[in-house]
Structure 1
């Protein structure tokens, strides 16, 4: 690729910035998130450094999120998304020359990348509820080849009807549901890419129309700044303090008794191993977690950093799928399967007297291994109106309409 330098992008086009941007692009290629030359060209032509605040310029080409605004309590309100995630979303949306695209959640960089991909005959609209974010997007886009992006202040839940229908909608805030307006404003054959929270787990999904409903897929783990607005479904769930530094997050589930969790945590940790071993490059944890979230009515995410050593509650880095009874807490754990450092075995750790709960968890880990491992993964159907009754390997997710039904192949 040839480095493209545009007037109006300032220091972001300097040789040092160009070299750092090129190194980032190569990193994205090596990781598999960047797959096509079209998206690579966009990332080269639209330097991230131009859209990162000057005081954070040292982070401009790191492959990680840059938070640009926080609430008084430290909660992130706006960010420049991590490049690996941006590349992955662009690959999924696959905008073509001349298309109309809507971005929900603004900031400037994503919109400029989309504008580069749809070309002069295309149209990009970006919507954000925060006036500060809108102002920053307008300011960073001004004087660049992407300044004709339409930047709108408004509630992204409503989309933006004036420029509809859209060939693609990209949601760059964490959503807890699919908004009807997004579906209404998609053109026939249009694509919706959205980071959606399912039973407390963030997953990057792509929806396309199929015979009167929409099919979703993808399943990569992801996290975004949450959607804001008076009517936004926050899916805040419930949080329980289990032990020092350890908490259980529960969404869309029967709730435990807080005293039962703290009582269970007072028991020492015991472990039961499933015999299911996986390679580190298989990236099975997102699918295993989805499997357990489907088959368990009582489901939560156990989070936190336990003290080293001892036999206390110890979730995996990034969290463990967990379930419970009135006396016992059980959660997924892993251990090395050999000395290579590349293979691990799934198991269950539990606290409390109910060893039967641990056996149920290992049974489900083995069921995933025998029936789903290496398969196509679950399907996620989105129904605007009445959804069919779910089977034993399916679960209706969330409440109200549209309805999401996650189903595993038999």
Structure 2
């Protein structure tokens, strides 16, 4: 028997021991070989399947329309002045509105559904034309139906759209009234603080209190409008430490109310005046409650879904209903109907969330300017009134009335 003179080497991580015999002794326990699979040369599967690719292509246009709509929702509104009203009621407004149609976010957001239903009308018209021209076998039916069902359901669809839009507008009006109370309450509160706090020792605390009052509308605006930057709005109004506390709080408007309440407790005021100023905070709590109720409670979803489903089914079957009377005119007829009715429904959905539709930035800035102007003119007004009082005291009353 020939014995090996060198140890046997295997190209693996396992090297068995050699023995004096030709056949090496197998180990008593099996050992596991660690194999490394190199996949660099193997074809990698595509990251997206054909279904996902088709879905992304079909969603490209709706996603673009949604982005346009959201950019429009973040657009700042302005308060109207006399020039704006003259421009608003101009006799050229119809031409101006028509020319600006392609920049309207309402119209741009309707491009996906309007195009979809118009394409359905094109398909129905092509199919019926092919059947009439005998391009298809005889067992293919002609897609047509009586218009009686549409005549009966058209009033129901009209009422549904009207009630949906009216419900949305009532929410818009409720939000506008809530903000009107907040703005008027802020002005009133600041005026009472300016006139009621006269102690010179309370001057720094009075200044801070007025800053908190001016900051509340900005905090409430950032609380109800998505994407607002409260740090940018309040960086020039509050001190850095106060702003840090407010930004880190979970409910920023209520945090500012806490600052206001504690500041009133530290002021050296009569109890009756302090109680009167504390009652002014109730309008802030009421404004927060109304705004949060409108944000958290939409119009019943069943109502919105019913309107959407009604419109979709209406326009899917509209080409079939109009074929006998219109033939290929069903394409523009469907386009006009979809653009009109979906536009009404879209306006109702947009104003359902009222706060992006209101000029809250201008309202907050107006309050800020009014209070700052009142603070700056306080010393001048007091000086003028004191001068008038001295002048009045120097005068003698000829009829014996007491002097003021």
TM-score by length of 2: 0.22
TM-score by length of 1: 0.22
Higher strand share: 1
Higher helix share: 2
Bigger relative contact order (CA 8 A; separation at least 6) = 2
Give the greater-gyration-radius structure (CA): 2
